Amino acid sequence: MKLQEIATALDAHLVGDGSLELTRVVHPRDVRAKTDLALAMDKETIACLAESGASAAVLTAGLAVPDGLLSGQIVVSRPRYAMATLTSLFDQPAHADPGIHPTAVLAADAELGDGVSIGPYAVIGPRAHIGAGTVVHAHVTIGAAARVGTQCLIYAGTCIGDRVIIGDRVILQHNVNIGADGFSYVTPEPGSVESAKATGRVETTNLDIRRINSIGTVIIGDDVEIGAGSAVDRGTVSATRIGRNTKIDNLVQVGHNVVIGENCMICGLCGIAGSVEIGDRVVLAGRVGIADHLKVGDDAVIAGGSGVGTNVPAKAVFAGYPAVPRDRAFEQVVNINRLKSLYNDMAALKDRVKALESAQKT
């Protein structure tokens, strides 16, 4: 691809020789050939550029390089956004053979759209439907009556349970679990958790635990992505839902009956307990936990590691354990750090009051 074409795709400023032919985008230290386009969009990578031998680079506006160092350069204003285009132009999609591998086990009444790729040892259940252009990698299981949309990418080892519905252009990474049973049990009489919540004490015991079966399903919207090893449990009687274009990272747990809106970003190791409702465009940083039945409003942002035990209003920024509005969380941290001096102040003030009291008595 020519440097000029890349600049056009990025809608960015080209300096120098636009006719350079590029075949890879790389960190400056990984430049091996004149056809490598170096990405040097921050100070650290710029510093590597001089010794890289690169002929062409993508740079950030305002971060200059010495004249003559490069034969051609592209200057972008929002480098992170440029990465979306650059990694799309030079994408290296996972290898998948076209067509249906002879070892795939397909139920007689499974329906496959045009141009699907089904990998070795994939298992597609009865009445399942897979949309056109979808790639199913090795060892994937798609359950009975499940529906997968068009142009999806389902990586190796992923399990999609019976009756699950998945939209178009969905990406499920390795070993994703969609449609396992919810974690839902009940004791004949109110049990230890109900007692602990009500009174703070354990006054009953859970001698008998009965299972509530999960007879609902999971519905996943278009353009959703779910990371390796993550799990989305099926609803109890209705559906656990993940809205259009929401992105979920690795090792995330989404409990039964949860409803997540559109365009959310949920980072690694988050745990969303049963029946939580999350609005649109919500961001959960890594390792956030949300207790069951809570609501998180649109556009809320929750900081990494937070433990959410209350509803979160729209556009709120929450942090901490228990999570509170971020300003309060920061104030708490500052106040806790000042405690040592507060204890000293208190001791000194006691002495001064004592001295005043002694003086008064005399």
Q: Which residues are catalytic?
A: 256
Six-digit token string for 158: 């992923």
Distance in Å, CB of 68 to a copy of itself, minimum: 25
Cα–Cα distance between 232 and 255 in angstroms, integer?
6
Looking at the Cβ atoms of 19 and 350, the one nearer to a copy of itself is: 350
How far is the C-alpha of 179 from the C-alpha of 165, rounded, in Å? 10
Report in angstroms how near the CB of residue 298 gets to a copy of itself at its nearest.
Answer: 8
Both structure tokens of 183: 């974690």
Would you say 37 and 6 are in contact if contact means Cβ atoms under 8 Å apart? yes
Phi, psi values for residue 84, rounded to 5°: -60, -45
Query: Is the distance from CB of 37 to CB of 45 less than 8 angstroms?
Result: no
By the 10 Å C-beta count (0-12 exposed, 13-18 middle, 19+ buried), 313 is classed as middle
Peptide bond into 322 cis (omega under 30): yes
Cβ proximity to a copy of itself, 43 vs 80, nearer residue: 80
Q: Which residues of 38-49 are buried (b: 16+ CB within 10 A; e: fewer)?
A: bbbbeeebbebb
Residue placing its CB nearer to a copy of itself in the complex, 2 or 101: 101
Q: Which is nearer to a copy of itself, 70 or 303 (CB)?
A: 303
Nearer to a copy of itself, 19 or 344 (CB): 344
With vertex at residue 299, the alpha carbon angle to CA 267 and CA 221, rounded to the nearest 5 degrees, is: 65
State which residue, 19 or 87, has the beta carbon closest to a copy of itself.
87
Q: How far is the CB of 2 from a copy of itself (least distance, A)?
A: 19
Smallest separation (angstroms) from a copy of itself to the CB of 60: 14
For the CB of residue 209, give the shortest distance to a copy of itself in the complex, in Å: 6
Do 60 and 44 touch, CB atoms closer than 8 A?
no
CB 77 within 8 A of CB 61: yes
As a 3-state breakdown, the chain gives helix, strand, coil percent values, each rounded to 5, of: 20, 30, 50
Minimum Å gap between C-beta 131 and a copy of itself is 20
